[in-house]
């Protein structure tokens, strides 16, 4: 294929050329915590720029060093809940992108990464003229926090295995291998989730104002309150979140990753460790 031509939406393939989107595209919605309107405008970017946010005229690189909070999503300096959009970007192997944000949060859309994936698919992806950079592990690395852990071992490709265990849904395990599975079909549609009691507590604290049965999978002690898109949607969403947080390492990683009960805090710590190991 001649470079700077539209590329197929092959996902998570860091062995080819850097990629950006073909033309700008806007998505609007509400923030899951503020409940307020928010818009993101995705703009093509030049070779080697990486992923950057622009908020109120301030440029914020999508890197782990810019993370300021992981308690209710991954929040960078100046913009909150970035992980679903970043998951779509990483999952589609977008190397360079400028994201202009009007609002305090990335819009939650339907609670998954799928609306972002579809928007990018609609306008197309362009291969650029420089090979994509990749973090390839030489030895095992590990981070842990209590009974949660992430372990990555060297591999010639990218793969994630994830395990969770929550009241009402029990133990769920899922492995995602983009060499044989579709990010768009198997991971991107999985919605954010939480317990109904947790949502009520968040709203009492002035958070979760934008959350609803339309943009979240709600759990109870007896199972799902609304209909899941997959019987194991929560663990798939955990993989979605981890992929989004891995975007904060600055470039794709080649490794087989095993995550156990990990959340945003540990995901970001893992991304920071990757950057430290590779001197990024």
Instruction: Quick: pLDDT tens for 207-233.
Output: 788 888 999 999 998 999 999 999 999
Burial status of residue 169 (CB atoms within 10 A of its CB: 0-12, 13-18, 19 or more): buried
Beta carbons within 10 angstroms of residue 126's beta carbon: 20
Taking residues 152-178, report their average pLDDT.
Answer: 96
* 79 DSSP 8-state letter: B
pLDDT: which is higher, 13 or 36 = 36
Residues belonging to the chain: 280
Given this model, what pLDDT does residue 280 score? 59
Phi and psi, residue 142, nearest 5° = -150, 145
pLDDT classification of 201: cutoffs 50, 70, 90? confident
Given this model, what pLDDT does residue 25 score? 98
Instruction: Supply the pTM of this predicted model.
Output: 0.93
Asked if the model's pLDDT at residue 3 lies above 50, the reply is: no
The structural domains of the chain, ordered by start, are 6-277 (3.30.1700.10)
Q: What is the rounded distance in angstroms from the CA atom of residue 165 to the CA atom of residue 156?
A: 30
Phi and psi, residue 253, nearest 5° = -115, 140
Given this model, what pLDDT does residue 15 score? 56
Taking residues 155-164, report their average pLDDT.
Answer: 96
* 207 DSSP 8-state letter: -
How much of the chain exceeds pLDDT 90, in percent?
A: 81
Q: What would the two tokens of residue 204 be?
A: 């009492």
What mean pLDDT is reported for the chain? 92
Cite the active site residues: 264
Asked if the model's pLDDT at residue 66 lies above 70, the reply is: yes
* 248 DSSP 8-state letter: G
């Amino acid at each position: 294929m001649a470079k700077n031509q539209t590329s197929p939406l092959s996902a998570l393939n860091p062995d080819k050329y850097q990629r950006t989107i073909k033309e700008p595209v806007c998505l609007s919605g509400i923030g899951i915590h503020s409940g307020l309107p928010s818009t993101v405008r995705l703009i093509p970017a030049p070779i080697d720029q990486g992923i950057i946010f622009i908020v109120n005229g301030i440029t914020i690189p999508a890197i782990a060093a810019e993370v300021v909070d992981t308690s209710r999503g991954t929040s960078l300096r100046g913009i909150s809940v970035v992980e679903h959009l970043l998951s779509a970007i990483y999952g589609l192997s977008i190397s360079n992108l400028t994201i202009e944000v009007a609002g305090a949060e990335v819009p939650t859309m339907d609670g998954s990464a799928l609306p972002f994936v579809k928007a990018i698919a609609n306008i197309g992806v362009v291969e650029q003229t420089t090979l994509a950079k990749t973090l390839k592990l030489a030895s095992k690395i590990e981070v842990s926090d209590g009974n949660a852990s992430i372990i990555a071992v060297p591999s010639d490709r990218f793969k994630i295995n994830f395990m969770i265990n929550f009241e009402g849904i029990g133990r769920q395990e899922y492995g995602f291998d983009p060499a044989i599975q579709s990010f768009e079909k198997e991971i991107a549609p999985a919605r954010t989730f939480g317990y109904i009691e947790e949502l009520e507590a968040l709203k009492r604290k002035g958070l979760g104002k934008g959350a609803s049965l339309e943009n979240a999978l709600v759990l109870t002690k007896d199972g799902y309150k609304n209909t899941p898109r997959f019987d194991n949607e929560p663990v798939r969403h955990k993989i979605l979140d981890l992929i989004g947080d891995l975007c904060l390492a600055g470039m794709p990683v080649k490794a087989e990753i095993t995550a156990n009960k990990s959340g945003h805090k540990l995901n970001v710590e893992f991304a920071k460790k990757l950057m430290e190991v590779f001197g990024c």
